[in-house]
Structure 1
Amino acid sequence: MTLAEAVIEGADPEELEHTPLPSTYTAAYIRKDEVGMFGRTPHGVNGVDKDVRRSLHVGEVPMPRLAPDEVLVAVMASAINFNTVWSAMFEPIPTFAFLERFGRTDPRHDLDTHVLGSDASGVIVRKGAAVQRWRIGDRVVTSPAYVDGEDPVTHHDSMLGNDLRAWGFETNFGGLAEFAVVKATQLLPKPAHLSWEEAACNMLCASTAYRMLVGEHGSRMKQGDVVLLWGATGGLGAYGVQLVKNGGGIPVGVVSSREKAELLRRMGCEHILDRTQFEHLDDEKAWRRLGAEVRRLVGEDPAIVFEHTGKETFGASVYVARKGGSVVTCGSSSGFEHAYDNRHLWMRLKRIIGSHGANYLECAEVNRLISLGMIHPTLSRVYPLERAGDAARAVQTNEHVGKVGVLCLAPEEDLGIEDRALRERVGEPNLRLFRSWPVAP
């Protein structure tokens, strides 16, 4: 019996420990020798389509060795994040530059292939000598921050660490694979009422949204705060909406279709804006129309604007935030070069808060909310590992809502559920809302 077969069949920890490691495993990866395949023109400019199905390969890669503070996880399921799309487009810079730099201190990562993926659920099958809190056979989910525990600042906030890396983006051996190398400080218990694919889709986006909205390093939302959320049915926005509602805030969701608006209503978001009514957000007239519509819906300007779209929306976000309000941003999916009228920032005492990922405590806190059934997965569709390119393409072209999952070792969906009683209390309609939605591809 192979190690993968042992995991799938639920072998006990002793059997897992004594089943030999394979020399290779199947993974989704990009290749260094293909970095120039799309040319230098940015995606979408002059008709250039950097179709990630061309650059994201699925095949055998060598099994890496473990460092003392790492574990090897047999990955049952993973998920697509936008950093996988950036990696496969080789934008804004090829991720092999990250691996080369990391290779100066850890040569294992500097390879001609880069195994991607920043989310995973699975079973620990090996652990390094320094790992104390985790055992072979434990069912886990992974958080995305790969940190240096010897850096003093990481013990205040690991997001400030000088050697902070996004796992599966700035490191090798990520989650879109049958096996993944994970630091012990990335591990969290798998929510027992979720399937493998439901558990795998949450941590990167949910923890990022938590830090932005709830954590002490973000906007620190309080009860009654009006929060404007761009892309409110997307991977980040859908968790943001849930966190705002759970915390007593008032979400105002921005979406681009009637179908997505109806999904928001099913999530309990009462106030919804149609993005298509504000297509040209590069001038103050459009900003004024947007602000007027928010006030029409809720009677006041947003205390917080939840930003991750970047170039196309940032000027509007700064404008519509209330006096003394904040714009919290974690990304720039529409472009990194932002333009806004600074008068609306300084004269109205607003703040721009940069937020990146989440530290281990923030990840643990949001995983607790998921494990209690208070935050639900936003999984909309699941692909097998051999179709990882198609899964990434769906995210690249925005043909999805919520999160897109990938089955790795799990042979089918809906496996791995342990706490059926909690699942029944939470309710299948809540857990499967996004998966049943027709807007998903």
Structure 2
Amino acid sequence: MTRARVPAKGHELAQAVVAGAEGAELERLEVPTVYRAAHLRKDDVGTFDQHDQDKDVRRTLHVGEVPMPELAEDEVLIAVMAGAINYNTVWSATFEPVPTFAFLERFGRTDPRHDLPTHVLGSDAAGVIVRTGRAVRRWRAGDRVVTSPAYVDGEDPAGQQDGMLAADLRAWGFETNFGGLADFAVAKATQLLPKPRHLTWEEAACNMLCASTAYRMLVGERGARMKQGDVVLLWGATGGLGGYGVQLVRNGGGIPVGVVSSREKADLLRRMGCPYVIDRSQFEDLSDEKGWRRLGAEVRRLVGEDPAIVFEYTGRETFGASVYVARRGGSVVTCGSSSGYEHTYDNRHLWMKLKRIIGSHGANYQECHEVNRLISLGLIHPTLSAVYPLERTGEAARAVQFNRHVGKVGVLALAPGEGLGVEDHALRERIGEDRLRLFRTAP
């Protein structure tokens, strides 16, 4: 790539993207040598210690210039219009459970570009391709795309069965560098999907990590394989994952039972069309069987039976209850542990009642394609609730760190404002702004 020694934000390539230039023009313009990005600094590792009660991500998330990397032959350079915060941004900025620079150092043994003193974060993005590597066949400059988060090399034979089984699987912008919370991002061609034409940049940027993860957990053949009529208990049902989980359950003929932590979130859940809502504050103590029994009784009171599937990502605080309340022969599908990794549960309720615990991580490219198709058809809607400028990425991550949000939190990069990027206005009108912006109107 040719380089221009000008910061990205004011650079003519960025300006041309914002102006809607065609691919041929974008290819003629030089790529800047540096670009603006939300990043960590290796020197900040150790900022927090075990005695810190508040590991404030604003202390370690910096926004400033970083060097522009070279492209590998199977990669593209994306001018990012918008990105989104995921919980892995919080983990990264608190250096837990391990500093992400350890991931970059290990990756650097095979790809030295990633082992840098700065780590550009972000596992979601929507934008415009401005450069392609020489081996990229299906994409070209000017294409509008969203990114999926799985970064897979593909030489591992297991990856041909399921990309998530590949030994070299990495989470983009978490276990790799050059992520989506920036003016430019580097992604593999196999991460790319067409941007849904009826969505704004910030709406398009917020979906893929959480929506595809929920799809694999509930619908994909490697997850719980929900069928019509299944009762599904969803923890954090208005969160980043839960908001998509509820939609997938309803679309697939399941019966969602959403668990939330406030009256406002309960109201939002009902507006989403979730018929059964549980206020978690009624079950403060879920540490023993007494609390589990009360929760199970409430589910049965609402729907008349125990859940066939429990949708789990909160971890330590809820896992024992999840194993208990799942019906005989039911499943607990888990993709995370935001409240802690060490889980305690009564194994008698697992083995004697023939229940299953299913581990689920991210989504492979085909699963991402399927969920992006649902979004593009207007069958799954964004859960975007708030949007911050890139300069305030620290504040955006802070909101997620303390659960001061519903759904997803977006970040504008090159997009000069909200509401831009819509191409299919007719589909947007058929769906309705009230549905597309439902989470934006939540208290």
TM-score, structure 1 normalization: 0.98
Alignment pair present for 1:420 and 2:425? yes
Work out the CA distance in 2 between the residues paired with 1:386 and 1:11.
25
Aligned counterpart in structure 1 of residue 38 of structure 2, from 28, 52, 55: 28
Structure-2 residue corresponding to 1:50: 55
Gaps of 5+ in 2: 1-10
Deviation (angstroms), 1:39: 1.3
Deviation (angstroms), 1:12: 1.0
Alignment pair present for 1:230 and 2:242? no
Give 3-state SS (helix, strand or coil) of 1:383's partner: strand
Aligned counterpart in structure 1 of residue 405 of structure 2, from 384, 388, 400: 400
Instruction: Note the alpha carbon deviations across 1:392-438, whole angstroms, 9 max, x for none.
Output: 00000100000000000000000000000000011100000001111
Alignment pair present for 1:389 and 2:412? no
Work out the CA distance in 1 between the residues paired with 2:218 and 2:297.
24
Structure-2 residue corresponding to 1:268: 273
Aligned counterpart in structure 2 of residue 10 of structure 1, from 8, 20, 23: 20
Alignment pair present for 1:90 and 2:95? yes
Give 3-state SS (helix, strand or coil) of 1:68's partner: coil
Work out the CA distance in 2 between the residues paired with 1:341 and 1:40.
30
Instruction: Note the alpha carbon deviations across 1:147-186, whole angstroms, 9 max, x for none.
Output: 0122221111000000000000000000000000000000
Letter in 2 for 1:135: R
Work out the CA distance in 1 between the residues paired with 2:203 and 2:24.
27
Work out the CA distance in 1 between the residues paired with 2:80 and 2:50.
34
Give 3-state SS (helix, strand or coil) of 1:244's partner: helix
Letter in 2 for 1:5: Q
Spell out the pairing of 1:152-301 with structure 2 (5 A cutoff): 152-301=157-306
Give 3-state SS (helix, strand or coil) of 1:254's partner: strand
Identity of aligned residues (%): 80
Alignment pair present for 1:136 and 2:146? no
Give 3-state SS (helix, strand or coil) of 1:238's partner: helix
Structure-2 residue corresponding to 1:112: 117
Aligned counterpart in structure 1 of residue 321 of structure 2, from 316, 328, 332: 316
Instruction: Note the alpha carbon deviations across 1:56-103, whole angstroms, 9 max, x for none.
Output: 000000000000000000000000000000000000000000000000
Structure-1 residue corresponding to 2:73: 68
Letter in 2 for 1:421: A
Instruction: Note the alpha carbon deviations across 1:90-119, whole angstroms, 9 max, x for none.
Output: 000000000000000000000011000000
Work out the CA distance in 1 between the residues paired with 2:18 and 2:156.
38
Letter in 2 for 1:379: L
Deviation (angstroms), 1:2: 1.1
Instruction: Note the alpha carbon deviations across 1:168-209, whole angstroms, 9 max, x for none.
Output: 000000000000000000000000000000000000000000
Structure-1 residue corresponding to 2:47: 37
Work out the CA distance in 2 between the residues paired with 1:156 and 1:194.
32
Alignment pair present for 1:367 and 2:372? yes
Spell out the pairing of 1:302-381 with structure 2 (5 A cutoff): 302-381=307-386
Deviation (angstroms), 1:40: 3.2
Work out the CA distance in 2 between the residues paired with 1:39 and 1:264.
38
Give 3-state SS (helix, strand or coil) of 1:435's partner: helix
Letter in 1 for 2:367: E
Letter in 1 for 2:181: L
Work out the CA distance in 2 between the residues paired with 1:90 and 1:401.
24
Instruction: Note the alpha carbon deviations across 1:213-243, whole angstroms, 9 max, x for none.
Output: 0000000000000000000000000000000
Letter in 2 for 1:15: E
Letter in 1 for 2:48: F
Work out the CA distance in 2 between the residues paired with 1:27 and 1:265.
38
Structure-2 residue corresponding to 1:44: none
Give 3-state SS (helix, strand or coil) of 1:150's partner: coil
Letter in 2 for 1:61: V
Work out the CA distance in 1 between the residues paired with 2:429 and 2:12.
35
Structure-1 residue corresponding to 2:155: 150
Structure-2 residue corresponding to 1:431: 436
Work out the CA distance in 2 between the residues paired with 1:311 and 1:150.
35
Deviation (angstroms), 1:288: 0.2
Work out the CA distance in 1 between the residues paired with 2:276 and 2:127.
37
Deviation (angstroms), 1:292: 0.1
Work out the CA distance in 1 between the residues paired with 2:320 and 2:360.
18
Q: Number of paired residues? A: 433
Letter in 1 for 2:137: Q
